Amino acid sequence: MRFWKNKGKQWRKQWFLENGSTFLKELIAGCNGKTNPIRSYSSDQILKATNGFDPSHYVTSDLYYTWFTGTIEDRSYMIKMYPEEKVRGDGDGIGAVYNDIVISARVTNHSNFLKLLGCCLEFPSPVLVFENAENGALGHQGGIGSKDTELLPWVVRLKVAKEIANAVTYLHTEFPRIIVHRNITPMNVFLDKNWTAKLSDFSLSLTLPEGKSQMEDQVLGWPGYLDPSYLHTSIVTEYADVYSFGIFMMVLLIGRHGMAPRSDVRFIDIRNYVRGLEEKGEFVETIFKVGVRDIVEAERSQVDKFVERMFRCCEKSVEKRPKMINVAKELKRIERSLVDTPACLRFYQYVLWTRIGDELCQVPKIFDSLICMLLDRREG
């Protein structure tokens, strides 16, 4: 990344002017004059924070961008960098960057979106600065980082599903024009220190015309998560997100890649994998032996209800899928039903153990106090 360090002030000024004018135009058009202020960072601040985008600061990446961690003024941030060769080489690439900025700015006060704090316009493509997510991003298989193959506790996964459903519902219902995310995958979900789920990345998002529930557009999205109807007709509706969210639920449930390689070098998406298990009568066995080994018998009904909603979201027919607002409400009801189960207490135990780290001797005492507090509150 020495390239950035060698660029003179004239180049940085030119990039700032070019990016700044486009940014203002897109922000005004996209936000209708109403948005939250975001901070402007210098290229020197970004380069110092990431040590010149050094691999040691790397978090995760997608086709067009890479995430890094960095510290600015003694505060940790998530920093999103769009490489010039990937963005400028694609006719729609730079538009995707500004789309990401504008929509991130519009949703930044919602607790289930990764909060945009500012950006730097002194690079060929804007660099975005977000709040820190201490527990990182989910991986392709629904785990975290190098432990992607290890499923999170069931109650954590259920909490993540509920919170991402809330975020998508917000996009579909809280603005005059429906926003379709188009890229709901585990890789775009971050977890903060309290395991609160944060949806990110609006580079592929589409804002439908006011008063319209659909429009035709090029097919964009991650293989395995694409709505079959959208894939074949190029018609985008909010139900494309519902389908993708159903696939997201599948990945959380069984810990399998949305598009996994087969032994014959071809790929099979998770929906067809699950369909194959159903045809062989092995789906239920797989779920309870692989996906939710950490539950007790009393919690099986919650898993059953989760699976039922998951399949409804993944219906091939758009007309048979529920609206996201209803999915969010149902997941909230399922989560609330866990309050009186051991799973709820295990969630707090999981959080305490991960937050306290090596100081395991303190955990039992703290955990016992927490259990007593929860029981007292429930009885009261």
pLDDT level of residue 296 (50, 70, 90 thresholds): confident
> Quick one: pLDDT at residue 58?
94
Q: Dump pLDDT digits (tens) for 142-195.
A: 777 555 567 888 889 999 999 999 999 999 999 999 999 999 999 999 999 999
The mean predicted confidence, pLDDT, of the chain is 81
Confidence of residue 68 (pLDDT cuts 50, 70, 90): very high
- Per residue in 338-377, pLDDT (tens digit) is 665 555 555 555 555 554 443 434 444 444 444 444 544 4
Quick check: 10 pLDDT over 80? no
Q: Which alpha helices (H) appear in 113-210, and where do they start and end? A: 154-173
Token pair recorded at residue 327: 């999915």
Query: Do the beta carbons of residue 273 and residue 167 sit within 8 Å?
Result: no
CA distance 188 to 193: 17
> How many Cβ atoms from other residues are within 10 Å of residue 375's Cβ?
11
Q: What is the pLDDT of residue 139?
A: 86
Predicted pLDDT at 1? 47
Closest CA to 79 of 15, 148, 125: 125
Residue with tokens 């730097």: 120
CB atoms within 10 A of CB 91: 7
pLDDT for 262 beyond 60: no
What is the four-CA torsion angle of 5, 6, 10, 16, rounded to 10 degrees?
A: -30
Candidates 12, 83, 64; CA nearest to 41 is 12
Answer whether 146's CB lies under 8 Å from 99's CB.
no
pLDDT digits (tens, 9 = 90+) for 299-325: 788 888 999 999 999 999 999 999 999
